[in-house]
Amino acid sequence: MSLIHLVVSVESVSAHLKRTFERIMERPLELNRLRFHFNRNEWQTPPMLNHFARNLRYSLAAIGLLTISCGLGSAKAQLEQPTAQPSSETVIKPVEEQAPEAAKSPEEKALEAKQEPAKKLAKEKLPPKKQLRAIALSGSYDDLAQAASFDPTSLLLGGGVGKSKSFYRLCDYVDEMANEPNLSHVLFDLSDSDIGFNSAQLDELARRLEKLRAKGKKLIAWLENASNVHLSIASSCDEIVMADFGGVDMPSSALETMFYRDAMDLVGVKASIVRAGDFKGAVEPYTNPVMSEHLKSHYLAMLESINGAQISRIAKGRGLTNAAIRDLQKKRMLLPAEALAAGLVTKLAPYGSMRATVQESAGKDIEWTTPKAKPKRDISFFELMSKAMAGPKEAQRVKEDSIAVLHLSGSIMDGKQASPGEIISGPTVKAIEELTQEDRVKGVVVRINSPGGSATASEAIRQALDQLAKKKPVVFSMGEMAASGGYWITCIGQPIYAERGTITGSIGVFSLKLSLGTMLRRVGVHVESVSLDDSASSNAIDRAWSDTEIANMQRFIDDVYQRFLSIASKSRNIPVEKLQTLAGGRVWSGEQAKLHGLVDELGGVDDCIAVVAKKSGIEKFKILSKPEPASGFDLFRMLDDSGDGDIDIGLNGVFQEGAFAEWESKLIGLMGHRGFRFNTTLSLLRDAFQSKTGQPKIWALMPQELNVR
């Protein structure tokens, strides 16, 4: 059978299959039945599709037989042909090229013997080149990357979905580089002036970089305009190169906080506050126009400790004394030549010559590499919508021995639905219970970044963590802040680690009521309350608490405060009498907290993981981060119309709609660039305006926001 016969046969079979498929497409009922059975996970093939499959099998068999027949025919034809003779066009090699080995001269044999080692070496695989990994740091880093923010306008204009950067993903990558055999140099490009790490993160990153250097990797830092953050990272490197057109700005630590009394008087808002403890400074922002001297002296002592951590990081890395760095802080602004003379950098280089300068230091044969990124792919609008409509992913079972890092970040609030940037009691307790029941999770590190919040929510989370600790090792790691309710949840008698610059303590509780009577009267609004007795209108929007109501509320505040003191005393093994001198709302640095016995050790998540692994008795394990950051926005929440009214009180502000929304958004954005997050203030305002019952809430919350730079 010839090849022409095979082609004709295949075309005939293809035409038959095409006709059969067209008959199926003309009968949509069959396709609908197929979809129905797929959706029910039942495989029941419609008759017409059975007919198509049967014809397909017969056709493929026919094609196979035709192919075999064609192959046998070609083989028979080749066997019947006579042996082919070289044609006149065949190229005959010269005799000297076909000469046998014996015909070669001694000189030729000696030359080939000399060339043989070179040929063998060429055949062998060349050793891999040494590599240099270039890592450009930019922007701010969060312990746990937050969910992507959704901006429809940005998407329509060709933008993307905003996503924060994960600090611990960076740490994991640094650890991975230590195990790359061909990697000899790592370049940290620190030319971005807006690199943001908090003090706790800088301490942990310094330890990771020190381990990377211990593996024989040479670390190089490139600086242009350097701040304390840039210098802290660069000081962990072997070589620091600074552009000759730049400078250093290294101020000492400073603290900013806001006092609202004058603004409240201006707009006609009065705060009624009931607190516990002998330390009055905690609620001063709502009662005083300026900071008192005794509160300022307390903050100065804390700042000395936090600044000491900053100084020692740079001094240790550069081989300088703490006193020398402190003197440079007082000068603050340094030219590149002055930074070189002071020993802050290794050498200067022309601006814009980073690659050439580093190439000269690392060697010309070095291979430049960058971190591998996932390949980008186009995504259609319909695929984007389908992913959004799918809602949050279900948690998957853990398949191997693991240590979980449970991130608790934000204000602690009562509730049942998770909210980005907040620790909601219901979902948090559920996540802790899942870790308790998961056998493959051998231990848990609880990472806390919180100023506190609701006392009842803090207690619910604390009790869940206590049950977790009864089944497997638990160690607490305090990040940038773990104060008030953030400290409350650690009181289960388990080890607590904090970094030197952590802000913690604030063991105290209070309740606050905002009354808008004066403001309403100024705009001509008068509120009339009709009630059976005074107690029924104690939480009216237009009046403050009376002395009787304050005395009644004080009983509840004192009861909750005594409970806080009791669990903290038992957890830290500190007598209540001594603990009262450390409590009352006083805040401490991590270093101060260790001296007072409020925490056990100075260290970060890396140290806590090592402790949990040792207690669990495991050597090989996987690190799990919980909760897993959302992969994108949740369309169900966007479409949810079960809100409390036209004025929504959300994460970013108090009024998301209405006359003040645009002004408020701009103000929060402007102050956000200065480091103010308004977590505490917004939590208090949301509760004041959102509460339907008017029932006063008891807060285990650091009432003032401290912006430490």
DSSP for 176-191, written as a single string: HHTT-TTEEEEEEEE-
| Whether residue 42 has pLDDT greater than 50 | no
Establish whether the linkage from the previous residue to 627 is cis, with ω within 30° of 0. Answer: yes
Strands 452-454 and 699-701: antiparallel
| Whether residue 653 has pLDDT greater than 60 | no
CA angle 544, 548, 552 (to 5 degrees): 100
pLDDT of res. 29: 45
Q: What is the sign of the dihedral through the CA atoms of 702, 703, 705 and 708?
A: negative
Nearest to 661, CA basis, from 671, 648, 672: 648
- Answer yes or no: are the C-beta atoms of 527 and 542 closer than 8 Å: yes
Mean pLDDT of all residues in 493-522 = 93
| d(C-alpha 510, C-alpha 584), whole Å | 10
**Reading across the β-sheet that carries 452-454, which strands appear in turn?**
270-275, 510-515, 699-701, 452-454, 411-413, 422-424
Nearest to 672, CA basis, from 702, 652, 688, 649: 652
Nearest to 598, CA basis, from 578, 621, 627: 578
Helix axis angle, 605-616 relative to 167-177, nearest 10°?
70
- Answer yes or no: are the C-beta atoms of 412 and 450 closer than 8 Å: yes
pLDDT of res. 388: 54
| Whether residue 337 has pLDDT greater than 80 | yes
Lowest-pLDDT range of 126-135, 355-364, 565-574: 126-135
Nearest to 501, CA basis, from 205, 302, 705, 327: 302
Q: What confidence category does residue 129 fall into, taking pLDDT thresholds of 50, 70 and 90?
A: confident
Q: What confidence category does residue 638 fall into, taking pLDDT thresholds of 50, 70 and 90?
A: very low
| d(C-alpha 217, C-alpha 182), whole Å | 10
Q: Which two tokens stand for residue 220?
A: 């190089």
Residue 659 region by backbone torsions, left for phi larger than 0, else alpha for psi between -120 and 50, else beta: alpha
Mean pLDDT of all residues in 324-345 = 97
Q: What confidence category does residue 87 fall into, taking pLDDT thresholds of 50, 70 and 90?
A: very low
CA atoms within 13 A on the CB side of 376: 2
| Whether residue 647 has pLDDT greater than 50 | no
pLDDT of res. 656: 46
- Answer yes or no: are the C-beta atoms of 475 and 436 closer than 8 Å: no
Is residue 380 exposed (0-12), middle (13-18) or buried (19+ Cβ within 10 Å)? Answer: exposed
Residue 86: other Cβ atoms inside 10 A: 8
Mean pLDDT of all residues in 179-183 = 93
Of these ranges, 6-10, 377-381, 589-593, the one predicted with the greatest mean pLDDT is 589-593
| Whether residue 526 has pLDDT greater than 60 | yes
pLDDT of res. 528: 87
Nearest to 591, CA basis, from 505, 707, 489: 505
| d(C-alpha 473, C-alpha 609), whole Å | 10
Q: Which two tokens stand for residue 608?
A: 């806590």
Return all residues near 344 (Cβ < 8 A) that are at least 6 apart.
Answer: 231, 240, 248, 314, 318, 328, 334
- Answer yes or no: are the C-beta atoms of 624 and 403 closer than 8 Å: yes
Of these ranges, 21-25, 233-237, 269-273, the one predicted with the greatest mean pLDDT is 233-237
pLDDT of res. 108: 67
- Answer yes or no: are the C-beta atoms of 442 and 400 closer than 8 Å: no
Nearest to 455, CA basis, from 147, 707, 647, 687: 687
DSSP-derived letter for residue 320 is -
The fraction of the chain above a pLDDT of 90, given in percent, is 52
How far, in Å, are 446, 483, 499, 617 from residue 474 at the CA level?
Answer: 7, 19, 18, 14
Q: What is the sign of the dihedral through the CA atoms of 28, 29, 32 and 34?
A: negative
Query: What are 18-22's contacts with CB under 8 Å, separation 24+?
Result: 20/51, 20/52, 20/55, 21/52
Mean pLDDT of all residues in 127-137 = 89
| d(C-alpha 299, C-alpha 30), whole Å | 77
Residue 621 region by backbone torsions, left for phi larger than 0, else alpha for psi between -120 and 50, else beta: beta
Strands 270-275 and 510-515: antiparallel
Lowest-pLDDT range of 274-283, 317-326, 397-406: 274-283
Q: What confidence category does residue 49 fall into, taking pLDDT thresholds of 50, 70 and 90?
A: low
Q: Which two tokens stand for residue 690?
A: 């959102």
| Whether residue 184 has pLDDT greater than 90 | yes
- Answer yes or no: are the C-beta atoms of 615 and 473 closer than 8 Å: yes
Q: Which two tokens stand for residue 282?
A: 């905690």
Nearest to 170, CA basis, from 136, 221, 198: 136
Q: Which letter, b or e, does each residue of 28-57 get, where b requires 16 or more Cβ atoms within 10 Å of its Cβ?
A: eebeebbeeeeeeeeeeebebeeebeebee
Place of tokens 């208090």: 684
The fraction of the chain above a pLDDT of 70, given in percent, is 66
| Averaged pLDDT of the chain | 79
Pick 546 or 634 by higher pLDDT: 546
Lowest-pLDDT range of 8-17, 32-41, 59-68, 598-607: 32-41
- Answer yes or no: are the C-beta atoms of 493 and 571 closer than 8 Å: yes
Q: What confidence category does residue 706 fall into, taking pLDDT thresholds of 50, 70 and 90?
A: confident
Pick 110 or 674 by higher pLDDT: 110
pLDDT of res. 209: 97
Per DSSP (E only), the strands in 191-269 are 218-226, 239-249, 255-256
Tens digits of residue pLDDT in 142-165: 987 665 444 443 333 344 444 568
pLDDT of res. 693: 57
| d(C-alpha 259, C-alpha 268), whole Å | 15
What is the domain partition of the chain in residue ranges? 3-74, 131-149+161-250+332-369
Q: What is the sign of the dihedral through the CA atoms of 298, 304, 307 and 313?
A: negative
| Residue 16: its H or E element | helix 3-25
| Whether residue 12 has pLDDT greater than 90 | no
- The topology (CATH level 3) of 131-149+161-250+332-369 is 2-enoyl-CoA Hydratase; Chain A, domain 1 (3.90.226)
- Answer yes or no: are the C-beta atoms of 226 and 232 closer than 8 Å: no
> 636 in helix, strand or coil?
helix
